Amino acid sequence: MAAQTMHRLLGDSVLRRKARRVPTIDRSIQRLIDDMVATMKQAGGVGLAAPQIGVSLRIIVLQMLGEEPMAIVNPEIVKRAGEREVTEACLSVPGYAGEIKRSASVTVKGQDRHGKAIRIKATGLMAQALEHELDHLDGVLYVDKTEPVKLHKIEPPTLEVGGD
Ligand code: ZN
């Protein structure tokens, strides 16, 4: 798979599938992570999930402003606390953002790109991004989260997670 793989859009069935766990983190998985990071950077997003580039595996990547990109393989939310209203957008639903509710903080466990167990406690945008990307692994998009989601058009049209 080439770097900066084309991302998948709303309507593509891979975005609605429950992604499979990664049994072994080998070179091909590490290359996939590299492709995901390249695609995330090109799009200017703070996160990306493997189904967004057409791969139905439980892998997400995240990059907060000024920090190194990070990958989490087989991520699971083990704790959620609080609630806050956020503006959210998704690379797979270009041109729109909407207001939804997310947890104020989450704790996620999983593995890093070398297979080492990791556990992350996050608040704010990072917590929002983790919930958003984890939802992708279960075939859920932010536009499913509220009725009626107050969608509005945004510029530039491709944002992941942040919608302002
Ligand atoms: Zn998304």
Q: Which of 56, 39, 71 is nearest to 136 (CA)?
A: 56
Residue type, 75: P
Please indicate, yes or no, if residue 4 is contained in any of the structural domains. Answer: no
By annotation, the residues acting in catalysis are 133
What's the pLDDT at 8? 87
Please indicate, yes or no, if residue 162 is contained in any of the structural domains. Answer: no
Please indicate, yes or no, if residue 32 is contained in any of the structural domains. Answer: yes
The Å distance, Cα 33 to ligand 1 centre, comes to: 16
Q: From first to last of its 164 residues, what are the pLDDT tens digits of the chain?
A: 444 467 888 888 999 999 999 999 999 999 999 999 999 999 888 999 999 999 999 999 999 988 999 999 999 999 999 999 999 999 999 888 999 999 999 999 999 999 999 999 999 999 999 999 999 999 999 999 866 667 888 887 777 777 55
**Buried b / exposed e along 37-70 (16+ C-beta atoms within 10 A):** bbbbeebebbbbbbbbbebebbbbbbbeeeeebb
Please indicate, yes or no, if residue 163 is contained in any of the structural domains. Answer: no
CATH number for position 67? 3.90.45.10
Domain hosting 66: range is 13-153
What's the pLDDT at 148? 63
Please indicate, yes or no, if residue 164 is contained in any of the structural domains. Answer: no
Q: Where do we find the tokens 């290359």?
A: 31
Please indicate, yes or no, if residue 39 is contained in any of the structural domains. Answer: yes
What's the pTM value of the predicted model, to 2 decimals?
Answer: 0.90
What's the pLDDT at 105? 98
What's the pLDDT at 1? 43
The Å distance, Cα 52 to ligand 1 centre, comes to: 7
The Å distance, Cα 12 to ligand 1 centre, comes to: 13
Please indicate, yes or no, if residue 103 is contained in any of the structural domains. Answer: yes
The Å distance, Cα 89 to ligand 1 centre, comes to: 7
Overall number of domains in the chain: 1
As a three-state string, the secondary structure of 65-89 is CCCCCEEEEEEEEEEEECCEEEEEE
What's the pLDDT at 45? 85
